Amino acid sequence: MSRLRTSSRLILATTVTFAAWFALLFGSLPALALGRRMLGRWRAFVMGTWGRTLARAIGMRIHVRGTPGKGLIVANHLSYLDIVVLGAATRKGFVSKAEVARWPFMGWMARTAGTVFVDRGKKRELARTAGRMSRKMSDGQGLCLFPEGTSSPGAAVQAFRSSLLEPAAEAEIPVGYAALHYSTPPGCPPAHLSVCWWGEMTLAPHVLNLLRMPSFDATVAFGSQPIADTNRKLLAAKLHHAVAELFHPTVDPSEVCLTSPT
């Protein structure tokens, strides 16, 4: 039964993702012919539909608390599934590190979906990135950003990298915020090992183990008021504090020390 569930979910997830990519690829030109705002709306529609459909395909129940605002949203980063959860809940695109653009298939889909890529090693690119972020949001598709820069087991919210927020600070973009949390049912492996993806975990075995579980839950809580500041470090500090206030740990820090996969 477990093997059948894993195989069927893998096939469904692959089919749903390819369908979303084709929808983005072949629907973008007709949408763009009607204007950039229509393109943004089309991408938002596809991202939302993909996230909700993929979540059902893999047995993930998404619980949303609060209402996502318009524009830019930051969140803590726990897993590759964060994109699915936020895509379903917000219908937004993403700001991602430049390396993702070079990933096989996922890089192609990210580019087609209008992802804004940030090269953290090139400060001169930040102004251009700020411009691209502003254009994406003015086109009707908001953006999500993970300022921790890497995923974690969910014991605490890691420090936010202010460099990733410089485009928002320079453009004086108000930034919303959200906190992500995962949980698994009794008898299943704990979420910080089976759902969160961090440290030296290998992707393929992690995905297969995730698909074997009968179900699991994802919760995203949105803050009520966006935060703005022209100083990137102050903006990062304010947002970190706000996300930490909403955050519910996935695991106790002492358990991470005992069960770290590294």
200-204: long-range contacts, CB 8 A cutoff, minimum separation 24 = 200/261, 200/262, 201/261, 203/80
Look at 2-11, 55-64, 118-127, 210-219 and tell me which has the smallest mean pLDDT.
118-127
| pLDDT value at residue 135 | 74
How many angstroms separate the CA atoms of 93 and 73, rounded?
A: 10
| pLDDT value at residue 252 | 76
How many angstroms separate the CA atoms of 63 and 88, rounded?
A: 10
Per-residue pLDDT, averaged over 31-58, amounts to 88
β 143-145/93-97 pair status:
parallel
Is residue 100 within 8 Å of residue 110, measured between CB atoms?
yes
How many angstroms separate the CA atoms of 50 and 47, rounded?
A: 5
Is the pLDDT assigned to residue 262 strictly greater than 50? no
**Burial of residue 262 (number of CB atoms within 10 Å: 0-12, 13-18, 19+):** exposed
How many angstroms separate the CA atoms of 222 and 228, rounded?
A: 16
| pLDDT value at residue 169 | 84
pLDDT digits (tens, 9 = 90+) for 124-176: 666 677 777 777 766 666 889 999 988 999 999 999 988 778 777 877 888 99
| pLDDT value at residue 93 | 86
pTM, whole model, 2 decimals? Answer: 0.90
**Burial of residue 105 (number of CB atoms within 10 Å: 0-12, 13-18, 19+):** exposed
pLDDT digits (tens, 9 = 90+) for 1-27: 678 889 999 999 999 999 998 998 888
Scanning the chain, the segments in alpha helix (DSSP H) are 2-33, 36-58, 82-90, 106-112, 126-138, 166-170, 191-194, 203-212, 232-246, 253-259
Is the pLDDT assigned to residue 179 strictly greater than 90? yes
